[in-house]
Each structure stands twice: as C-alpha cells, then as structure tokens.
Chains A and B, each alone.
Chain A
Amino acid sequence: MRILGLLAAMAGLIVLPLISSGYVVYLANLLLTFTVLCLGMHIVIGEAGQFSLAQAAFYGIGIYTSGLANTAFGWPLPLSVLASGLVAALVGLCIGTLALRMRDIYLALATFAFGEAMQWVFLSWTPVTGGPNGLRIPPASLLGFEIVNDRQAYPVVLAITILMIWATVVIARSRLGRAFRAVRESEVAALAMGVSVQTTKLAAFALSAFFAGVAGAMFAIYSTYIHPDSLGFQTTILVLTMVVVGGLGSFSGAIGGAIVFGLISELLRQAPSYQEIIYGLILIVFMMFAPRGLFAFIGDNLKRFARA
C-alpha cells in the first residue's frame, strides 16, 4: 500500500511538467526547495532538538555561492551545488562552535542574531551579492546544456530533492541519527552512553546548514534574481512554521509541512500585509491544538472517527 502510494506520487511528480502551466512548474520547484530547507531544519530542531534560527542565512550563503560558482568560476552544476552545501556547512561549523555553548532560548537568540548579521552582509557585500540592487543569477549549465526556464530546471531540482530525502533517511537510521535523538531526549543520559554531546550538536548544526546551502543552490538553478530582503528572519520563520505544521520531529511531516504550508503561503502572496500575522496565528494554533503536527492530528481524529 505504502509502496503503491509512493509510486503514484513519483509518477505524478515526473509527469507534472508535461501537463501543467509554467506557473505550476515554478511553484513545484519552489516547494521542492522548501522541502530541502525543511529537512535541514528537521535535522537540527526535530532530530537533535537544538533551536537554530539561522536557516535563511545558510540558504542565502548557498544561493550566493552558487551564483559565484556560475559567474566567476563557471563550475558545472553538480560541483556548484556541492560547493553551496559545503560553504554553508563550513560557516555553520564556525557559528555552531560559538553558539552551541548556549542552549534553548539563548541558542535561538544567538542564531537569530547571526541570521540578522548575515542579512546585513548580504545587503552590504555588493561585489558578491549585488547589495541592495539584488543579484541577477546567470543560468546554470548541466553537461553543456543551459537551464533557462522552470521546466528545464524541474527534473534537476526534483533529483536533488530525492537525493536529499534519501540522505535524511540514511542519517536518521545511522549511529549519528540515534545520537541526535539521544541528545534531544536527555543530554545527561547521552553523555553516560558515551556520546560526545557537543560534537553531536555541532554535527547536526553543520548538516542542517549543508541542507540549507543545497536548497540555496536549487533556488539558483531556476531563479534569475535574488534580493537580500527574501533572506531574512521571515524566511526562517516560514520554514519553522512548515516544520511545526508538519509535525516537529517527524521526517515525513517536514516534507508534508513544506508542501501544504508552501501552498498556503503562495495563496497568501495576494495579501502580503497580512502574511506574517497569518503565519503567526497558524503557528500558535498548531502549537496549542496540534503540537504533533497536521498529519498526526488528522490521523488521530480519523482513528477516533472510525471508532465512533
């Protein structure tokens, strides 16, 4: 049953660009990008339990690294995607080393401050980011073939997403993934098991930055323009809301949350002034009434309904 559902979803995803308009394909690319961003946040918050609020900054680092790799160095696509992830992870390691001395709300504040600082860097480092004018991203090229529109980008974006989903599953099942959850559950007990708590937190932080960096590279494949305005705290909160709506700590929830909430936020683009109020409300409502996420909430109620 589950396999069938998965196959159906795969088939749908593959034929999507053949049967739909350009806008739908653009939206699909965007949702897949947010899926990878959410997976990154899922690793650091959902798995390892460390409240990092710098996801947008790492996303931005990924975008600009990719842009630079294309324009300045003319690197092939796979290399620039990898570079985006690695640069973000490297910055993540440096920040994590400092920030992870703190915990809970202090960690959240430190990473928030880093995110704000990075947005300022994006706005000021004109040679690389274009500063307040934004940056025109040149088309990426794969095997000598230039990707100039959403439809051409889609298969590549989809392939990267599937690769990252696979990586998330592999990490979750590994010894490292178990250590993440142990640290989340109880640091003292994790220490008693011989887990180096600090190193484990750092690994989660760097991995999540890697995912965000790759998401940035994905964005750079189908987008032609980036402005620092869209790399601020708002984006981090959007990703956080997606992960919470999907169900904190659940891997499929992170994916589902990205897709469902991504669609909601796209609808809300018609009313930008209410956007943040509505995000906030949704976040509060979910924390209060469905803390385990939308899908667990629906599942529980279906069960209750079936019993009645």
Chain B
Amino acid sequence: MPDLLEVEGISASYGRIQALSNVSLRMPAGSIVALLGGNGAGKTTTLNTISRLVPLTAGSIRFEGQPLNRLQSHHVVRAGISQVPEGREVFRDMSVRENLDMGAYGRSDPAGVRSDLERAFTYFPVLRDRLKQKAGTLSGGEQQMLLIARALMARPRLLLLDEPSLGLSPVLVQKIFDIIARLHADGLSILLVEQNAAVALAASQYAYILENGEIVLEGASDALRQDEAIKRTYLGS
C-alpha cells in the first residue's frame, strides 16, 4: 500500500535562486510529520510545492498514490489536501462565519458542511461566540484557530500546517498543539512546518530537517529529541 504522501526528489526555484534541491519525504496515513529548519531553509516552499503554489523543476509528488504534479493549485484542496498558508492569512474583512464558509468553498453537500461546522466547534468552541465578528478583529490565537478550523471545513485527509506557533504566547502554543494532538487522535494526517523544534518534535512521530533547501537529517521524532547535535542547533540546550 502506498504512503499517504510521497515526495520524491523535488526541486524548485524562484527565478535563478534554487529554493529546494532533491527533497524526498514520505508520510504514512494518520501520522504527524514535522518539517524543521531555520529561516529560509525551504520549509514553506516544500509545503507550497505540494499545494502547487510553487512549480516543481524536478521530481514528483504523489498523494494517495495519485500524482499531484499536473493539478492546478485551486484543485489541490478538492483532492483532499488543505493548506493553512503562512502569514496568518485570514480573510480579515469577512466575518468568522464567512471565513468558515470559504473553507467549504468547493463542497456541494450542505448537510455535510453543517455537520463539519459543528465538529469544528468541538475543537474550537470560542469560534462559535465569534461567528459574526470580523476575522481581523480576533486575537492572534483566535486567528490561528480560525485558520485551522477553516482548513478543516474542506474535510481534508491531509492538513499542511505552516508555523502554527508563530507569534503566540507559550500558553497559546500549548493550546494549539493540544488541539493538533486531538485532530491527530481523530485520524487526521498533518504535515507540520515549525521553527519551534521542541514543540514540533513532541507533537510529531517523524521529522525531517531542512537546511538550504536540502534535507540534512531525518528520523523518528523521539530519537531526534535525544540527538546531541539537534539539541545544540535547534533545541537551544
């Protein structure tokens, strides 16, 4: 049986600048895989090649055994992959409700959408009280929750999550990662990009470390947490 996601030898570039070279990664269904590395290491670019926002120059990407290479970016979500893009991109001037409706944009099963909305509230009860509020007026933590809830409204089988801890207090980071753990327990597969290596390694089963667009290390998250070099470079101890 093929893995949920198989990325093989992909390269990508912005103009003449090589952003990714020969990156390969696999993730089995039902897992959380972390993608770690410093600024500009190519983490977000990797997510963006999977969601077809950035074109590949080499390699292939398969999701559930099907190649993604030919899909246009707005068709990726229909294939079962939801992305929470970097930069906290809520639709600021739209209500929370409209943001969530946008998450279900490609769906034509109103009953299913309604039940998924209720399900999203079980993870993020605070959003129910904010439905009519403009998304731009939410706090940073609430916006992050809205982003995840919005991505869930497409009923994805794979969630691409970009820096959920960015700019949040440790308490909120913990809260978000508790929810990530619950989503995982409920069967969702998550490819997680993080700068905060400590929380990401704790939350994931397997991790890849990127440097200058190349994978320099990979392994089970538990093992990586014990690795001396990792501790020094990424865990700050």
Would you call B154 and A193 a contact (CB within 8 A)? yes
| Per-position binary interface string of chain A over residues 191-219, scored 1 when its CB falls under 8 Å from any chain B CB and 0 otherwise | 11111110000000000000000000000
Question: What residues of A have a CB within 8 angstroms of the CB of B78 in the complex?
Answer: 194
| Per-position binary interface string of chain A over residues 266-305, scored 1 when its CB falls under 8 Å from any chain B CB and 0 otherwise | 0000000000000000000000000000000000000000
Would you call A192 and B93 a contact (CB within 8 A)? no
Nearest-Cβ distance from residue A275 to partner chain B, whole angstroms: 33
Would you call A193 and B103 a contact (CB within 8 A)? yes
Q: Which of B55-63, B81-89, B121-129, B219-227 contacts A (4 or more CB under 8 A)?
A: B81-89
Would you call B98 and A191 a contact (CB within 8 A)? no
| Per-position binary interface string of chain A over residues 177-195, scored 1 when its CB falls under 8 Å from any chain B CB and 0 otherwise | 0110110111011111111
Q: Which residues of A contact B (CB under 8 A)?
A: 175, 178-179, 181-182, 184-186, 188-197, 249
Question: What residues of B have a CB within 8 angstroms of the CB of A195 in the complex?
Answer: 74, 102, 105
* Shortest Cβ distance from A200 into B: residue: B74
* Shortest Cβ distance from A196 into B: residue: B74
Would you call A185 and B94 a contact (CB within 8 A)? yes
Would you call B77 and A186 a contact (CB within 8 A)? no
Task: Report the Cα distance A190→B103, complex, angstroms.
Answer: 9
Chain A binding surface SS class: helix
Beyond A188-B53, A196-B74, whether A179 also contacts B105 by CB under 8 A is yes
Task: Report the Cα distance A181→B90, complex, angstroms.
Answer: 12
Q: A181-B93, A182-B91, A192-B151 are in contact. List 15 more A-B contacts (CB 8 A).
A: A178-B101, A178-B102, A178-B105, A182-B105, A188-B85, A189-B102, A191-B74, A192-B51, A192-B82, A192-B84, A192-B89, A193-B106, A194-B75, A195-B102, A196-B72
Question: What residues of A have a CB within 8 angstroms of the CB of B103 in the complex?
Answer: 193
Task: Report the Cα distance A216→B122, complex, angstroms.
Answer: 52
Would you call A189 and B89 a contact (CB within 8 A)? yes
Nearest-Cβ distance from residue B76 to partner chain A, whole angstroms: 8
Q: Which residues of B contact A (CB under 8 A)?
A: 51, 53, 72-78, 82-85, 87, 89-94, 98, 101-103, 105-106, 150-151, 154
Beyond A192-B82, A192-B85, whether A249 also contacts B93 by CB under 8 A is yes
Nearest-Cβ distance from residue B98 to partner chain A, whole angstroms: 6
* Shortest Cβ distance from B51 into A: residue: A192
Question: What residues of B have a CB within 8 angstroms of the CB of A194 in the complex?
Answer: 74-78, 105-106, 154
Task: Report the Cα distance A178→B103, complex, angstroms.
Answer: 11
Would you call B94 and A182 a contact (CB within 8 A)? yes
Instruction: Give the 10 A-B residue pairs with the shortest CB-CB distance, closest first.
Output: A194-B106, A189-B89, A194-B77, A185-B91, A186-B89, A193-B105, A192-B83, A196-B74, A193-B102, A188-B85
Task: Report the Cα distance A192→B94, complex, angstroms.
Answer: 16
Task: Report the Cα distance A195→B83, complex, angstroms.
Answer: 13
Task: Report the Cα distance A196→B52, complex, angstroms.
Answer: 13
Question: What residues of A have a CB within 8 angstroms of the CB of B84 in the complex?
Answer: 192
Task: Report the Cα distance A181→B84, complex, angstroms.
Answer: 18
Nearest-Cβ distance from residue A171 to partner chain B, whole angstroms: 15
* Shortest Cβ distance from B101 into A: residue: A178
Task: Report the Cα distance A189→B102, complex, angstroms.
Answer: 10
Nearest-Cβ distance from residue A123 to partner chain B, whole angstroms: 41
- Among A178, A189, A193: residue with most chain B CB under 10 A: A193
Task: Report the Cα distance A194→B105, complex, angstroms.
Answer: 7
Task: Report the Cα distance A178→B107, complex, angstroms.
Answer: 14
Task: Report the Cα distance A210→B98, complex, angstroms.
Answer: 26
Question: What residues of A have a CB within 8 angstroms of the CB of B74 in the complex?
Answer: 191, 194-197
Question: What residues of B have a CB within 8 angstroms of the CB of A191 in the complex?
Answer: 53, 73-74
6 examples of A-B residue contacts, CB within 8 angstroms: A178-B94, A181-B98, A185-B93, A186-B90, A188-B87, A194-B75
Task: Report the Cα distance A188→B89, complex, angstroms.
Answer: 8
